Amino acid sequence: MRDSRERPVCHRAEDLVTYLYGEGSEADALDFGSHLEQCDACRIEFSVFNQVHDSIQVWRTEALGVSLNPVEVANQTAADSRQFVRQRRLSAMAALRQFFNVSPIWLRGATAFAALLLCVLGIVMVARISRKPVTIAKVTDEKTYTQKELEAAVNQAVDRTREELTANRNAAGSSNIPKQEPRPPVNHTQVATSPRKAPRQHSLNREERAQLAADLRLTLPVDEDEILLALPEQDIPHQ
């Protein structure tokens, strides 16, 4: 390197530095480039400064081992920033975890219980929704009867039928048939259901009553406890 003390100094020293680091505009660079061709002092200094710059760069690379190029650093910074934003977006779970860490034990327990309750309710709701719809009892216009009403209706029907039969027999041959003694009153607790068995004067059993009811188009009682039968509208006795 040439001794700087011996070198002439140009008045465009600042322009030289600007040109050396490439910071001027294109016009500045062209202008100083043409000056450099004519000025020995600037040309020599430019060459010497370039060597110094290279030496420092070697030292820097050895020492730091990484580039600090502004473009690379800017890209890295932008990437870091994006990463930071992503971390912030994902930190909701971390915040929840932090909340649990700092909250007292009773609060943690209450939160856990509430979560469990919510889960159970959810399961119940899902089960109810997914179950097949239950057939609801069909409501008809037919009237329903209790045990007593049924028996009364049956007895009434039996009496009516018996009277009709008697009337028919009387009409067919009233002279040949001896006059019968008046029939004792019907015991309604012992229901006589069949008109054919009526002359035998004994009370009907349960099966016979059921048969009679079927004959009279009455619905059979399924269970003794819930006897809800239907009768045709015209057969309903008004009590």
Contacts of 86 (CB under 8 A, 6+ apart): none
Minimum distance from residue 66 beta carbon to another protein (Å): 7
Which DSSP category does 144 fall into? E
The CA-CA-CA angle for residues 195, 198, 199, to 5°, reads 125
Which residue's CB is nearer to another protein, number 60 or number 206? 60
Q: Taking the CB of residue 192, how many other CB atoms lie within 10 A of it?
A: 23
- Cα–Cα distance for residue pair 11/32, rounded to 1 Å: 12
Q: Indicate the residue among 77 and 146 with the shorter CB distance to another protein.
A: 77
Name the residues that contact another protein, by CB under 8 A. Answer: 1, 3-5, 13-14, 16-18, 21, 23, 45, 48-49, 51-53, 55-60, 62-66, 68-70, 73-74, 77-78, 80-82, 84-85, 87-88
CB of 113 to another protein, least distance (A): 32
CB of 100 to another protein, least distance (A): 18
Q: Tell me how crowded residue 196 is: count the other CB atoms within 10 A of its CB.
A: 9
Closest CA to 204 of 217, 191, 187, 186: 191
> What sign does the dihedral 126-129-134-139 (CA atoms) show?
positive
- CA–CA separation, 233 and 159 (whole Å): 19
CB 122, min distance to another protein, A: 35
Contact 45, 51 (CB under 8 A): no
Alpha-carbon gap, residue 12 to 36, rounded angstroms: 10
Tell me the C-alpha distance between 191 and 204, whole Å.
Answer: 6
Instruction: Rank residues 55 and 103 by Cβ distance to another protein and give the closer one.
Output: 55
Residue 22 vs 184, nearer CB to another protein: 22
Minimum distance from residue 83 beta carbon to another protein (Å): 9
Closest approach, Cβ 37 to another protein, in A, equals: 20
Looking at the Cβ atoms of 50 and 111, the one nearer to another protein is 50
Residue 217: which region, alpha, beta or left (left: phi > 0; alpha: psi -120 to 50)? left
Kindly tell me which of 68 and 93 has the beta carbon lying closer to another protein.
Answer: 68
89 or 179: whose CB is closer to another protein?
Answer: 89
